[in-house]
Amino acid sequence: MTYRRFPVSAAAIITVATFTLAACGESGDVGQAGSGGNVGGADSQDSAKLDMDGAEVLQDGSGSGADVSKRLFESAETVVVAEPNQADQMQAAAVAISFGAPMLVRHPEAVDEVDEEIARLGADRVIEVPGDADEEDIQAIADTEPIAPAEGESDIEAIAGQAAAQPLPIQLPPVLATDETSRAAVASAISAGADVQVLGIADPRETSESMRLVTEQDTLALGQQWGSNDDYRARVSLASNGELPGGGGLVFPGRRMIALYGHPYGPELGVMGEQPPAEAATLAQEYASWYEGLDEQPIIPAFEVIVTVASEYPGDDGNYSNETPAEDIVPYVDAILDAGGYAVLDLQPGQGSFLEQVKIYEELLKRPNVGLALDAEWKLNPGEAPLSRIGSASAAEINEVADWLAALVRDNNLPQKALILHQFQAMMYPDRENIVTGQPELAWVLHADGHGVPEQKFDTWNVLREDLDPEFFMAWKNFIDEDTPMFTPEQTYADVNPRPWFVSYQ
Enumerate residues 6+ apart whose C-beta is below 8 A from 211.
Answer: 204, 205, 239, 240, 243, 248, 249
**Are the beta carbons of 458 and 483 closer than 8 angstroms?**
no
CB 170 within 8 A of CB 32: no
Q: What CATH number was assigned to the domain covering residues 257-505?
A: 3.20.20
Question: Contact 105/64 with Cβ under 8 angstroms?
Answer: yes
Instruction: Write down the domain spans for the chain.
Output: 29-241, 257-505
Task: Give the integer Cα–Cα distance in Å for 40 and 47.
Answer: 10
Report yes or no: 350 and 378 within 8 Å, Cβ to Cβ. Answer: yes
Burial of 59 (0-12, 13-18, 19+ CB in 10 A): middle
Give the whole-angstrom CA distance, residue 445 versus residue 471: 8
Q: Backbone dihedral region of 414: left (phi > 0), alpha (psi from -120 to 50 degrees) or beta?
A: beta
Q: pLDDT of 440-460, one tens digit each?
A: 999 999 999 888 899 999 999
Helix, strand, coil abundance in the chain, percent, nearest 5: 35, 20, 45
- How many other β-carbons are positioned within 10 Å of the β-carbon of residue 221? 29
pLDDT at 245 over 90: yes
- The pLDDT mean for the chain works out to 90
Taking 90 as the threshold, does the pLDDT of residue 13 lie above it? no
Q: Which residues contact 471 (CB under 8 A, 6 or more apart)?
A: 437, 438, 444
Q: Is 41 helix (H, G, I), strand (E, B) or coil?
A: coil
Rounded Cα gap, residues 35 and 42, in angstroms: 15
Instruction: Write the pLDDT tens digit of every residue in 291-332.
Output: 999 999 999 999 999 999 999 889 888 899 999 999 999 999
What gap in Å lies between CA 71 and CA 222, rounded to an integer?
11
Contacts for 193 with CB less than 8 Å, ≥ 6 apart: 11, 12, 13, 40, 42, 164, 167, 168, 170, 172
pTM of the model: 0.86
Mean pLDDT of 62-84: 97
Distances (CA, A) of 151 to 157, 323, 331: 11, 54, 48
pLDDT grade for 333, boundaries at 50, 70 and 90:
very high
Whether pLDDT at 393 is above 80: yes
pLDDT of residue 14 exceeding 50, the answer is no
Share of the chain above pLDDT 90, in %: 80
Distance CA 195, CA 326 (A): 48
Cβ proximity of 357 and 349 under 8 Å: yes
Task: Provide the edge-to-edge strand list for the sheet that holds 78-82.
Answer: 103-105, 78-82, 125-129
